[in-house]
């Protein structure tokens, strides 16, 4: 059970709702410790004076803002604490806006807001329902971890969701940051029509579980094999060709989608996506409606797949199709057992 990282009140108008703030995402990155080669000794870092080489104690370290030419404005920790904004007790919604007005580039981190204490449920549900029916989201500011944040509060399926956001001056302008910007172009003949047809043929319902972190799965597989004293060799991805003929590339892509792709746009339907050699593309288990396993089942596969021969990335895709809970933390042997158990009639 997650613990709240902040508690206070969500305020709109004269209504104050006691709420707690909870992380909505979890970092699944595989972390390694640095070791001295040939030993199991951890690497430690010391803070040293760059001129004398002497180690410096934490209470002897101050912050300096560089002015150039080797000059600094020195600021102490106590001074920074005094300048820091105080802890927010209330998330006060000052404005409501349409979600579609906000470019997703502004969103930073996602949290859940949950009602806290007796009597909070009704006011909480009222705000969520009102925003849901009006299609609006609330804008506010709050202090979280000693930093002031612009936040958006929006209705989810069952809960209110809080998104921390970048302020306007934190968003880089593409015109200032990019060396070249695409120019407006005119498209000859069937180029745009074929491109739109390709988009339609690749269109599928959004299923988040269909998209897997294949790199993490490969690293987990590497660790598992090395722990068991085995070596592992991964299939190399095919190099992408430098396509020059845009029209030829579009037509080849549509043709690769198989029968029915030509009429996909006109008929309003979608065809099954093509797959690469590994059965994945862009992190998604491709093929059929939402995965290789479903496509094989629809085609009348003669027997069960050899799970031991499958990579962990493919096993993760299969586990997603079977909606196996906790699959992201399972090692390969446990994943195989879970798939076998879930596949039994």
Among candidates 228, 223, 207, 176, which has minimal Cα distance to 291?
207
- pLDDT at position 125 over 90: yes
Cβ-based neighbour number of residue 12 at 10 Å:
20
Q: Is 313 helix (H, G, I), strand (E, B) or coil?
A: helix
More confident residue, 213 or 64: 64
Q: State the pLDDT at residue 260.
A: 55
Q: Which residues are within 8 A (CB) of 161 and not within 5 positions of it... i.e. 6 or more apart? A: 24, 110, 111, 112, 113, 153, 154, 155
Q: State the pLDDT at residue 102.
A: 94
Query: ∠ CA 200-206-210 to the nearest 5 degrees?
Result: 110
What are the distances in angstroms from CA 335 to CA 31, 111, 316, 327?
Answer: 21, 29, 8, 7
| Cα radius of gyration rounded to whole Å, the chain | 27
- pLDDT at position 61 over 70: yes
Q: DSSP assignment, residue 50? A: T
CATH of 6-27+84-169, picked from 3.30.56.10, 2.40.50.100, 2.40.290.10, 3.20.20.410, is: 2.40.290.10
Q: What gap in Å lies between CA 165 and CA 139, rounded to an integer?
A: 10
Q: Around 318, how many Cα atoms within 13 Å sit in the side-chain half-sphere? A: 25
Q: Is 31 helix (H, G, I), strand (E, B) or coil?
A: coil
Where exactly are the structural domains of the chain? 6-27+84-169, 191-343
Cβ-based neighbour number of residue 222 at 10 Å:
16
More confident residue, 6 or 1: 6
Q: State the pLDDT at residue 242.
A: 59
- pLDDT at position 140 over 60: yes
Q: How confident is the model at residue 217 (pLDDT cuts 50, 70, 90)?
A: confident
Q: State the pLDDT at residue 236.
A: 64
Give me the sign of the Cα torsion angle 120, 126, 132, 136.
negative
Find tokens 């600094």 and name the residue: 72
Among candidates 85, 86, 89, which has minimal Cα distance to 19?
89
Among candidates 19, 23, 184, 174, which has minimal Cα distance to 90?
19
- pLDDT at position 292 over 50: no
Q: State the pLDDT at residue 227.
A: 85
- This prediction's pTM: 0.65
- Output helix, strand, coil percentages for the chain, rounded to the nearest 5: 35, 20, 45
């Amino acid at each position: 059970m997650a613990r709240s990282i902040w508690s206070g009140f969500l305020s709109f108008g004269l209504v104050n709702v006691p709420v707690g703030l909870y992380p909505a995402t979890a970092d699944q990155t595989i972390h390694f410790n640095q070791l001295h080669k040939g030993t199991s000794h951890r690497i430690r870092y010391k803070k040293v004076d760059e001129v004398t080489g002497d180690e410096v104690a934490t209470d002897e370290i101050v912050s300096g803002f560089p002015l150039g030419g080797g000059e600094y404005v020195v600021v102490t920790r106590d001074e920074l604490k005094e300048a820091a904004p105080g802890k927010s007790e209330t998330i006060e919604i000052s404005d409501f806006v349409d979600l579609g007005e906000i470019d997703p580039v502004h969103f930073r981190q996602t949290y859940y807001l949950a009602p806290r204490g007796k009597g909070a449920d009704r006011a909480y549900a009222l705000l969520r329902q009102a925003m849901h029916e009006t299609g609006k989201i609330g804008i506010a500011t709050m202090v979280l971890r000693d930093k002031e944040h612009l936040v958006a509060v929006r209705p989810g399926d069952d809960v209110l969701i809080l998104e921390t956001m970048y302020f306007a001056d934190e968003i880089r302008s593409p015109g200032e940051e990019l060396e070249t910007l695409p120019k407006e172009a005119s498209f000859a003949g069937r180029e745009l029509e074929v491109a739109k047809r390709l988009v339609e043929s690749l269109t599928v319902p959004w299923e988040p579980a269909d998209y897997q972190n294949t790199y993490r799965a490969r690293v987990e597989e590497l660790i598992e094999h090395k722990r068991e004293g085995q070596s592992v060799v991964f299939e190399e991805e095919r190099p992408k060709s430098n396509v020059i003929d845009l029209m030829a590339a579009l037509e080849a892509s549509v043709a690769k989608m198989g029968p029915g792709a030509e009429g996909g746009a006109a008929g309003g339907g979608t065809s099954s996506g093509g797959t690469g050699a590994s059965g994945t593309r862009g992190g998604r288990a491709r093929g059929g409606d939402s995965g290789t396993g479903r496509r094989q089942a629809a085609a009348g596969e003669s027997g069960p797949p050899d799970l031991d021969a499958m990579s962990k990335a493919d096993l993760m895709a299969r586990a997603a199709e079977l909606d196996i809970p906790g699959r992201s933390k399972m090692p390969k042997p446990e994943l195989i057992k879970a798939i076998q158990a879930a596949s039994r009639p």
